[in-house]
Amino acid sequence: MQTTQYQQARLTRDPRFDGHFFVGVTSTGIYCRPICPAPLPKEQNVRYFDSAVAAAESGFRPCLRCRPDSAPASWAWKGTDTTVERALRLIDEGALMQGSVTGLADRLGISSRYLTRLFQARMGTSPKRYALYQQLLFAKSLLQQTRLPVAEVAFAAGFGSIRRFNECFRDRLQMTPGALRRQGADTMVRGELTLFLSYRPPYNWSHLRDFLRPRLIPGLEWITDQGYGRSLQLADGTRGYFTATHDEARHGFRVAISLNRPAVMLPLVRNLRRLLDLDADSARIDDHLRPLLAPLGGPVPGLRLPGTLSLFEAGVRAILGQQVSVQAAHKLVGQLVNAYGETAPGPHGAMRLFPTPDVLAETDLAELRLPGRRKQTLIDLARLFRDEPEAATEPERWRSLAGIGPWTVQYARMRGGGDSDIWLGGDLGVKRALQQHDIVFDPETAAPWRSYLTLNLWSLT
């Protein structure tokens, strides 16, 4: 985006550009979102940055009114380097909260020196400083939106000690946690922590809701006209649930989270953003797909990828959905959850948890009405996640398992990993849409948004 476009978006406070860039004001030393309600600064006092981290590295502190920590993420500044993309995903999942840059580099198959050089080139900072700033911005959001004690905020943001948290907060954000605490913040209600997660409009909530509704597993998930929720089970065994309520006027979701014990929340919140696809740039995606879908009147505005809670769950759903209808797959997933999912307290009584790899790896799946080969594929996938968790997070490695082919891997990457560039050309629904509407095009021209092209074709069937 050119500087003139930044200027226009800032002057009009266009919400479609929220998170695409940040505005540093030299006269105050503060950086803001382009939708900030504060009086507009003069252009000669403005500097533009592609990310909040870049603004912070230049010495600006975050605005307390527009809260840059709440802006939708913009991935345009990642470039096309898949190594950087994988690194950012792993950092968002908490790879550097307990681990080292060397360990992260080893997982990526590169040296720590090369990883640092990539981050400096793409974001102007090191991987560790990037990760730390994400933790601080999340802590800032918790301090402003909740009444959690400062000690619990520090733990939820991934800090091991209050002293370290206070030092980093003061040094990087140029304020103390106590000074930031807003007196009118939300309170805990029935043990639920409520956060507001924003997106860039347009957001087609009705389409996402209507996609999820026929696939809903009672007890595991619940849905209303304006909300979606489901049970949670984190990697450390922590259990709970979330309920996300759509607020179209404010361009976001009010998300209530309840857990049975304190937990590091940043990876969870990142995961919920992916599940609801809150960081997609729908206006840009729709513009890109419009020429291809012109014979159909253009793309459905604001489509979002319907995520699942984990890559493992997406893989299981994909295996159960192989060569069967949505209704048949739904029935099988329900049988699996009811037979092997544990129960836990939920907002509407007892709820079900999705079965873990450890559970499915040690059962014969006798409760499922499936061919023996399909059952073995599920068991093999569960054992891969149990025995080689890092390998299992790369779905292409699943291809070594009997019964897993390209469609299963691609479906899991799209719904479980939030991959924006998956073309499910072999999917029965996609084939039917292409035949019924006599559509011919080269799907390669839809890259890097082929997942949204797939969604548009699914919406026709």
What mean pLDDT comes out for the span 40-53? 92
Three-class SS of the chain: CCHHHHHHHHHHCCHHHECCEEEEECCCCEEECCCCCCCCCCHHHEEEECCHHHHHHCCCEECCCCCHHHCCCCCHHHCCCHHHHHHHHHHHCCHHHHCCHHHHHHHHCCCHHHHHHHHHHHHCCCHHHHHHHHHHHHHHHHHHHCCCCHHHHHHHCCCCCHHHHHHHHHHHHCCCHHHHCCCCCCCCECCEEEEEEECCCCCCHHHHHHHHHHHCCECCEEECCCEEEEEEECCCCCEEEEEEEEEHHHCEEEEEEEECCCCCCHHHHHHHHHHCCCCCCHHHHHHHHCCCCHHHCCCCCCCCCCCCCCHHHHHHHHHHCCCCCHHHHHHHHHHHHHHHCCEEEECCEEEECCCCHHHHHCCCCCCCCCCHHHHHHHHHHHHHHHHCHHHHCCHHHHHHCCCCCHHHHHHHHHHHHCCCCCCCCCCHHHHHHHHHCCCCCCHHHHCCCHHHHHHHHHCCC
Give residue 33's pLDDT: 94
Percent of the chain with pLDDT over 70: 96
Identity of residue 246 = H
- Length of the chain, please? 461
Distances (CA, A) of 442 to 224, 289, 300, 439, 449: 38, 12, 19, 10, 13
Across all residues in the chain, what is the average pLDDT?
Answer: 91
Q: Does domain 3-68 have CATH number 3.30.413.10?
A: no
CB 338: neighbour CB atoms within 10 A?
14
- Of the candidates 84, 169, 75, the residue with the CA atom closest to the CA atom of residue 127: 84
User: Would you say 20 and 1 are in contact if contact means Cβ atoms under 8 Å apart?
Assistant: yes
Asked whether residue 455 carries a pLDDT value surpassing 70, the answer given is yes
What mean pLDDT comes out for the span 281-291? 94
Asked whether residue 184 carries a pLDDT value surpassing 50, the answer given is no
Give residue 77's pLDDT: 45
Residues forming a β-bridge with 325:
none
Residues forming CATH 3.30.310.20 domain(s) in the chain: 193-288
Residues forming CATH 1.10.10.60 domain(s) in the chain: 76-180
C-alpha R_g of the chain: 22
Can you identify the CATH homologous superfamily of domain 311-409?
Hypothetical protein; domain 2 (1.10.340.30)
Q: What are φ and ψ of residue 233, in 5° steps?
A: -145, 115
What mean pLDDT comes out for the span 352-380? 95
Asked whether residue 208 carries a pLDDT value surpassing 70, the answer given is yes
CB 217: neighbour CB atoms within 10 A?
20
Tell me the catalytic residues.
Answer: 32, 427
Q: Does domain 76-180 have CATH number 1.10.8.60?
A: no
Residues forming CATH 1.10.340.30 domain(s) in the chain: 311-409
Give residue 453's pLDDT: 96
> Tens of pLDDT along 59-118?
999 999 899 988 998 755 444 467 888 888 888 888 898 889 999 999 888 999 999 999
Asked whether residue 1 carries a pLDDT value surpassing 70, the answer given is no
Asked whether residue 355 carries a pLDDT value surpassing 90, the answer given is yes
Q: Which CATH architecture has domain 193-288?
A: 2-Layer Sandwich (3.30)
CA distance 176 to 236: 30
Residues forming CATH 3.40.10.10 domain(s) in the chain: 3-68
Identity of residue 88 = L
Distance from the Cα of residue 455 to its chain's centroid: 18
